[in-house]
Amino acid sequence: MAKEIYSKYPLIKYLRKEALPTALCPGCGGGTVLNAFANAVDQLKIDPKDLVVVSGIGCSAWIASPYFLADTLHTTHGRAIAFATGVKVGLPDKKVVVISGDGDLASIGGNHLIHAARRNIDITVILVNNFIYGMTGGQVAPTTPFGAKTTTSPYRNIEHPLQISETVAAAGASYVARWTTAHVYQLIESIKKALQVKGFSLVEVISQCPVQFGRRNQMKEPAEMLRWYLKNSVPISKAKNMSPEELEGKFVIGEFVNRERPEFVTELNKLIDEVQEHFGLKGESDGV
């Protein structure tokens, strides 16, 4: 029966069938993100052999590894972008993609995220933001909304969340967009753009976690969380004319930046060429 279901999925060729069904909780948004990524790869006709997909630790790290059929690195907590940086410098012709969660990439790995954007290295990051540490028990995270309840903030969270997309845009990324799992078609289009940008690109996906976040915040069903996203999503064009008070509890969606900036690996290889030429070593190395 399972094989019959999988055979009807048009993008099954991009997935590891032996790893299915997924270990994701019922209603998790991770499946939507995996589907959106597979659609983007398929529509751009990217050969998975040209991809290296990197993840860290956490629920969202499982999206790439073990489910996506490509070369994948399942790395240490918070270090996915550091590993991806090494891959891109060593294999500059590969498309390097990081898929992991907010706890992994924006908390434990926050410095790597900011400085990869500052360097503008040519990697794509799909950051799945479910507002919580899902795998380890539902603890409060740097992305948990103000007033929300978690296992470690059972009365309410008194901290304001890190605004990931705004921070990465300010750090210097070439492309930054934010969508929710209720905006699937827009999400696919942004992933496609991110994969084609020369430079650091971030697509933040606000994704439902009904098991750890939803049930503690009066949203036990995944559909309730999706309706919450739709009700509180504000296009960035409209958000620019709203006050901080009006934006409290809202999700600003859309493209934050799409610009050209010098890219790190390109500049690194230029520097290597300059140094080799200066010392009369030109032709002795192909750079990195």
The answer to whether 101 touches 134, Cβ cutoff 8 Å, is: yes
- Residue whose token pair is 């971030």: 202
- Residue whose token pair is 């360097």: 119
State the average pLDDT over residues 213-228: 96
For residue range 19-39, what is the model confidence (pLDDT) as tens digits?
A: 999 999 999 999 999 999 999
Question: What is the pLDDT of the chain when averaged over all its residues?
Answer: 95
Q: Which amino acid is at 89?
A: V
**Residue 35, both tokens:** 């589907």
**Residue 239, both tokens:** 């958000």
**Residue 53, both tokens:** 């997909």
Range of weakest confidence among 80-89, 92-101, 248-257, 279-288: 279-288
For residue range 47-59, what is the model confidence (pLDDT) as tens digits?
A: 999 999 999 999 9
Question: What fold does the segment set 22-279 form as a domain?
Answer: Rossmann fold (3.40.50)
For residue range 110-147, what is the model confidence (pLDDT) as tens digits?
A: 999 999 999 999 999 999 999 999 989 999 999 999 99
| Domain residue extents for the chain | 22-279
Residue 27: alpha-carbon gap to chain centroid: 19
For residue range 85-118, what is the model confidence (pLDDT) as tens digits?
A: 999 999 999 999 999 999 999 999 999 999 999 9
For residue 170, pLDDT beyond 90: yes
The answer to whether 201 touches 175, Cβ cutoff 8 Å, is: yes
Strand partners, 206: 129, 180
